[in-house]
């Protein structure tokens, strides 16, 4: 009852997942990212441990196919599950169980994977892919959202729409962007609005947060204020 795209931004190395569904709070259920190592989307009759344990296996050095095999081997409900995985090398592994509701399936391309179930048809994934490929000049978050919008225009979840999420990680364990619309009449539209709002303050503050390389981060508010002022000047 969901479709999602996993991708890696060739410009920054960030992993991103965008997802939409006719169900409540999809951002709390589907997307999982191990910073710098890979990304997992677990959906259909969602099994959260595919994400929780899958991220752990990625951190232990397993590739996408080995992670998938390990997760499926311990789950007797695997035929009701859908999962796709991308690892740091760009390898993609996916599973759509035979009991997932039509239309269901998964496709992959260079640097991205798309999977969905309970969709209006195969065009949902095809249009998501085409739009992602065609918009490589867009900033990564907007490229992912544009792709999902195209899938929605092709029919999306055949029951309608309710929630959506966008999760992006760079090198750090904390996300570069984590936005959700948990119960909304236009969830992807709400994500587009939130992504724009993130440029007002968050993207400037983010650059001052602690990192593994700089545990103290930057606590000089004047640096953040100067970044915000410069951005506003460019927009005026």
Backbone torsion region of residue 25, taken as left when φ is above 0, otherwise alpha when ψ lies between -120 and 50, otherwise beta: left
3-class DSSP state of 196: helix
d(CA 20, CA 2): 6
Q: What is the pLDDT of residues 196-211, one digit of tens each?
A: 999 999 999 998 999 9
Q: What is the pLDDT of residues 111-169, one digit of tens each?
A: 999 999 999 999 999 999 999 999 999 999 999 999 999 999 999 999 999 999 999 99
Cβ atoms 182, 24 nearer than 8 A: yes
Cβ atoms 88, 38 nearer than 8 A: yes
Q: What share of the chain is helix, strand, coil (3-state, %, to 5)?
A: 35, 25, 35
Domains by residue range for the chain, with CATH: 2-185 (3.60.20.10), 201-235 (no CATH)
Q: What's the whole-model pTM score?
A: 0.95
């Amino acid at each position: 009852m969901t479709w999602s795209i996993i991708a890696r931004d060739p410009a920054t190395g960030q992993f991103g997942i965008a997802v939409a569904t006719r169900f409540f709070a999809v951002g709390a259920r589907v997307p999982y990212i191990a910073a710098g190592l890979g990304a997992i989307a677990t959906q259909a009759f969602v099994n959260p441990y595919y994400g929780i344990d899958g991220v752990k296996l990625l951190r232990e050095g397993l590739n996408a196919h080995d992670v998938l095999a390990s997760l499926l081997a311990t789950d007797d409900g695997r035929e009701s599950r859908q999962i796709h995985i991308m690892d740091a090398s760009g390898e993609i592994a996916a599973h759509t169980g035979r009991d997932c509701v039509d239309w269901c399936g998964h496709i992959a391309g260079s640097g991205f994977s798309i999977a969905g179930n309970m969709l209006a048809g195969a065009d949902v994934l095809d249009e998501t892919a085409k739009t992602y490929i065609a918009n490589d000049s867009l900033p990564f978050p907007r490229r992912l959202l544009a792709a999902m919008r195209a899938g929605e225009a092709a029919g999306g979840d055949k029951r309608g729409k309710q929630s959506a999420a966008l999760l992006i990680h760079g090198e750090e364990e904390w996300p570069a962007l984590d936005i959700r619309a948990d119960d909304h009449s236009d969830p992807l539209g709400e994500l587009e609005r939130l992504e724009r709002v993130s440029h007002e303050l968050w993207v400037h503050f983010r650059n001052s947060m602690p990192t593994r390389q700089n545990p103290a981060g930057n606590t000089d508010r004047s640096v953040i204020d100067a970044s915000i002022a410069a951005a506003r000047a460019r927009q005026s």
